Amino acid sequence: MVDLPPSTLLQCALCAYMGGALGSLAALRREHLASLVGFGGATVASVCGIGAALLALTGGPAAGATTFELWPSVIPALRLGVKLDPLGAFFVLIVSILALALSVYSFGYARGFYGRKNVGLLGAFYNALLLATTLVFVASNAFFFLIVWEIMALTAYCLVSFEHKEAETRNAGVLFFIMSHLGTGCLILGFLLLFQAAGQALGSYGPDAYSFESFRALGSNLSPGRRDAAFLLFLVGFGVKAGIVPLHIWLPAAHPVAPSNASALLSGVMIKTGIYGLTRVLFDFLGTPPNWWGVTVLTIGTISAVLGVLYALMEHDLKRLLAYHSIENIGIILMGLGAALMFLHTDHPVLASLALIAGLYHTINHAIFKALLFLGAGAVLHATHTRNMEEMGGLIKRMPKTAFFFLMGAVAISALPPLNGFVSEWLTYQSLLQGFGTTDSLVKLMFPLSGAMLALTGALAAACFVKAFGITFLGQPRSEHAAQAREASPTMLLGMGLLTAACVFLGLFPTVFLTLFGPLTQQLLGQPLPGRLILGNGWVLGNTQELGGTVSTLGIVLTGICLLPVPLVLWLFFGRRTQVRIGPTWDCGLRGLTPHMQYSATGFSKPLRMIFKALFRPRREVQREYDYSPYFATTLRFESHIEEAFVTRLYRPLKRSILLTSRRMRGLQAGSIQAYLIYIFVTLLLLLIFAL
Partner 1 sequence: MNTALAILLQTLLLLALAPLISGCIKTLKAKLQNRRGPRVWQPYLDLLKFLRKDMVISEHASWVFRVMPHALLLSTLLAGLMMPLVSVSAPLSLFGGVLAFVGLLALGRFFLALGGLDPASAFGGMGSSREMAIAAIAEPALMLAIFTVAIKAGSTNLSQMLLAAQAPTWQLLNPAHVLAFAALFIVLLAETGRIPVDNPATHLELTMIHEAMILEYSGRYLALIEWSASVKQLVLMALLVNLFFPLGIATDLNAGAVGLSLLWFVAKLLVLSALVVLVETTNAKLRLFRVPDLLSAAFILATLALLSTFLFQ
Asked whether position 380 contacts partner 1 by CB under 8 A, the answer is no
Of the candidate residues 154, 175, 229, 416, the single one contacting partner 1 (CB under 8 A):
416
Count residues binding partner 1 (CB under 8 A).
90
The 10 Å Cβ neighbour count of residue 36 is: 18
Q: Which is nearer to partner 1, 88 or 451 (CB)?
A: 451
Asked whether position 584 contacts partner 1 by CB under 8 A, the answer is yes
Q: Which is nearer to partner 1, 28 or 540 (CB)?
A: 540
Q: Which is nearer to partner 1, 187 or 471 (CB)?
A: 471
Tell me the residue length of the chain.
692
The stretch near partner 1 (CB under 8 A) out of 10-18, 99-107, 150-158, 432-440 is 432-440
Q: Which is nearer to partner 1, 289 or 477 (CB)?
A: 477
Whose CA is closest to 186, among 102, 287, 56, 278? 278
Of the candidate residues 422, 518, 524, 616, the single one contacting partner 1 (CB under 8 A):
422
Q: Which is nearer to partner 1, 73 or 550 (CB)?
A: 550
Tell me phi and psi for residue 611, to 5 degrees: -65, -40
What string marks each residue from 476 to 495 as x (binds partner 1 by CB under 8 A) or -?
A: x-------------------
The 10 Å Cβ neighbour count of residue 595 is: 14
Q: Which is nearer to partner 1, 34 or 468 (CB)?
A: 468
- Write the Ramachandran bin of 588: left for phi over 0, alpha for psi from -120 to 50, otherwise beta: left
Question: Hey, which residues between 447 and 476 contact partner 1 (CB under 8 A)?
Answer: 448-449, 451-456, 458-460, 462-463, 465-467, 469-471, 473-476
Contact 170, 223 (CB under 8 A): no
CA angle at 372 for the pair 20 and 382, rounded to the nearest 5° = 75
Contact 275, 168 (CB under 8 A): no
Asked whether position 614 contacts partner 1 by CB under 8 A, the answer is no
Q: Which is nearer to partner 1, 238 or 422 (CB)?
A: 422
Shortest distance (Å) from residue 362 CB to partner 1 = 15
- Residue 291 CA to its chain's centroid (Å): 27
**Exposed/middle/buried for residue 487 (C-beta within 10 Å: 0-12, 13-18, 19+):** middle
Shortest distance (Å) from residue 125 CB to partner 1 = 37
The 10 Å Cβ neighbour count of residue 150 is: 16
- Residue 377 CA to its chain's centroid (Å): 16
Asked whether position 314 contacts partner 1 by CB under 8 A, the answer is no
Of the candidate residues 141, 414, 420, 424, the single one contacting partner 1 (CB under 8 A):
414
Asked whether position 442 contacts partner 1 by CB under 8 A, the answer is yes
DSSP state of 66: -
Of the candidate residues 164, 501, 599, 625, the single one contacting partner 1 (CB under 8 A):
599
Whose CA is closest to 368, among 502, 555, 560, 271? 502
Asked whether position 303 contacts partner 1 by CB under 8 A, the answer is no
Contact 38, 24 (CB under 8 A): yes
Shortest distance (Å) from residue 498 CB to partner 1 = 23
**HSE-CB for 7 with a 13 A CA cutoff:** 14
Of the candidate residues 249, 411, 498, 508, the single one contacting partner 1 (CB under 8 A):
411
Asked whether position 603 contacts partner 1 by CB under 8 A, the answer is yes
Asked whether position 531 contacts partner 1 by CB under 8 A, the answer is no
Asked whether position 555 contacts partner 1 by CB under 8 A, the answer is yes
One-character DSSP codes across 403-419: HHHHHHHHHHHTT-TTS
Asked whether position 574 contacts partner 1 by CB under 8 A, the answer is yes
Q: Where are the alpha helices (DSSP H) in 110-242?
A: 119-138, 142-160, 167-202, 212-218, 224-242
Asked whether position 444 contacts partner 1 by CB under 8 A, the answer is yes
Q: Which is nearer to partner 1, 568 or 668 (CB)?
A: 568
Sign of CA dihedral 389, 502, 530, 66: negative
Asked whether position 388 contacts partner 1 by CB under 8 A, the answer is no
